[in-house]
Chain A
């Protein structure tokens, strides 16, 4: 499989990025904090407001290093993408499918089957691993309802109904989120999914994780030459990377949710890693963010066997593999799209 190079995360708000020959140089108040040769980096993600020098942007462009900007709380601002990869024919076929409800719903259904199936797998797994510590009847109910949603998706004929089923399944799944927390239950109380802004610590971490994942999915799609802004399930909206969001669905539970609850249950995060704003919004603070990212980086290198291609793949290459499979399905190399089944 493709080599996983490093992602450079800039987590201090007052860091500035520049270039010195073949090095990426990080500066604070004009003083050099650190430097890295560009060859070992394939991704730079800045959680900083100061930005980068044009000459670093050029270095990234020439070497296919993707450069993304997020706010310190993880809200996506934009990405610098170099020369577009791949084939115009592939992208044109992608647009044709997106314009055709009958064709695109097949992709959407598969992604959502994978999403709900993977949520359900996590519920089952948690029940198995922690029987006695949890409310088993709640878990059993959620399991049954998710299975029902899966059956409904198989029969659905239009995207609006599909959205309805998906929304219900998501709410069902969130009902066990409080029970996924085994320690520090007072700090990590989950009261339903809140995004704009996140209103509790669990939501704060989920949002942060989803935005990192979205970024990885967007890179993956663009690497194989797909247009990350044109989706099959998420419809077009200016500035929204709809195809990346489609792809994220398959990995939400498997990559982010499991990760967030393991951070909590292993007591790697606690209340001192969060800031609460006056309006009640909750965010990871500097310390929290750096713990999150450090563990996220470690997790990336976990190897799993991809169930479709039967090859060992590092966890964070999964979006890349799926992007490839998506491209193959679009260009008819595969009879249909095999989503990631956890």
Chain B
């Protein structure tokens, strides 16, 4: 499978899709967005993402920021915060740079490591995009968690790559059909900034609308009480 550039979806969407298909659909298909404390915090952190905690350049490494990457086989594109390049004889060469260099992504996250794989999936998708963009092989990369100040090494396994392929194919399916996935009410819902837009509980137990209108007309009292 190969996608043309016009069909590319946002790379960052894969973490939304992992967290909740519907959230992803509301943001990326329906173009709805709402801020809450979590998203605001994330943006604040993003502003500071270039904490110069490592020197930009050393003899055997350099850092590149805001690299645009894409993958035609996944149909995803995006911008990476931080990519570190280490001198490595198995790496790749660049114009104007001596020697060969091996890239590693460092993905910055607020808070601490999650119980689920949403950050890992995003990192793997980023790696796959970077591999296609630079034509290289990357076997591991890093997640950096801000509040615990911890860098975690992630092995980019075949299993994880298959999962990313599977997700991106499903995202493209929904996108082509312009269909926002249905809501499933689960415990994550309360954390979601789109809760009010999504109305997951209403979708879970749909009312019969004709009955709703009829009942309201023929009940003597106000249906909508207390005012």
**B63 CB, min distance to chain A CBs, angstroms:** 32
Are B212 and A86 in contact (CB-based, < 8 A)?
no
Are A338 and B223 in touch, CB under 8 angstroms? Answer: no
Q: How far is the CA of A89 from the CA of B25 in the complex (A)?
A: 13
Task: Provide the bound-state CA to CA distance between A85 and B222, in Å.
Answer: 34
Tell me whether B213 and A335 are in contact (CB under 8 A).
Answer: no
A342 to B220, CA, bound (A): 11
A211 within 8 A of B: no
Q: Does A315 contact B (CB under 8 A)?
A: yes
Tell me the interface secondary structure of chain B in the complex. Answer: loop
Q: Are A86 and B31 in contact, with the CB atoms below 8 A?
A: yes
Q: A305-B225, A306-B224 are in contact. Are A90 and B217 (CB under 8 A)?
A: no
With a 10 A CB-CB cut-off, give which of A308, A337, A340 has the most chain B CB atoms.
Answer: A308
**Residue among B201, B225, B227 with the most chain A CB within 10 A?**
B227
Docked complex: B85-130 residues within 8 A CB-CB of A = none
- Is the beta-carbon distance between B216 and A307 smaller than 8 angstroms? yes
B197 touches A110 (CB 8 A): no
Check if B207 sits within 8 Å of A304, measured CB to CB: no
Task: Decide yes or no: A334 and B209 within 8 Å by CB, A150-B217, A304-B224, A315-B227 being known contacts.
Answer: yes
Please report the number of residue pairs spanning A and B whose Cβ atoms sit closer than 8 angstroms: 85
A339 and B224 contact, CB distance less than 8 A: no
Given contacts A225-B31, A308-B212, A341-B213, contact A125 B222 (CB under 8 A): yes
Known interface pairs A87-B29, A150-B217, A341-B213; A331-B180 also in contact (CB < 8 Å): yes
Interface size class of B (residues with CB under 8 A): 20 to 34
Q: Is B157 an interface residue (CB 8 A)?
A: no
Most buried by A among B31, B180, B203: B31
CA distance A311 to B221 in the complex (A): 19
Chain B residues within an 8 Å CB radius of A125: 221-222
| A86→B32 contact, CB < 8 A | yes
Q: List residues of chain A with CB within 8 A of the CB of B30.
A: 86-87, 90, 225, 331
A to B CB contacts below 8 Å, 25 in the list = A87-B30, A90-B30, A110-B213, A121-B222, A125-B221, A125-B222, A225-B32, A304-B226, A304-B227, A305-B225, A307-B212, A307-B223, A307-B224, A310-B202, A315-B227, A328-B199, A331-B30, A331-B180, A333-B180, A336-B210, A338-B207, A340-B224, A341-B216, A341-B224, A342-B224
- List residues of A whose CB falls within 8 A of some B CB: 1-2, 85-87, 89-90, 110, 113-114, 117, 121, 124-125, 150, 224-225, 254, 258, 302-311, 315, 324, 328, 331, 333-342
Q: A85-B31, A85-B32 are in contact. List 18 more A-B contacts (CB 8 A).
A: A2-B196, A86-B32, A87-B29, A87-B32, A114-B213, A117-B216, A125-B222, A225-B30, A303-B226, A308-B202, A309-B199, A309-B202, A328-B199, A331-B180, A334-B209, A335-B209, A342-B216, A342-B224
- What 8 pairs between A and B have smallest CB-CB spacing? A341-B216, A307-B223, A338-B209, A2-B196, A87-B30, A87-B31, A117-B217, A336-B209
Residues of B within 8 A of A (CB): 29-32, 178, 180, 196-197, 199, 201-203, 206-207, 209-210, 212-213, 216-217, 220-227
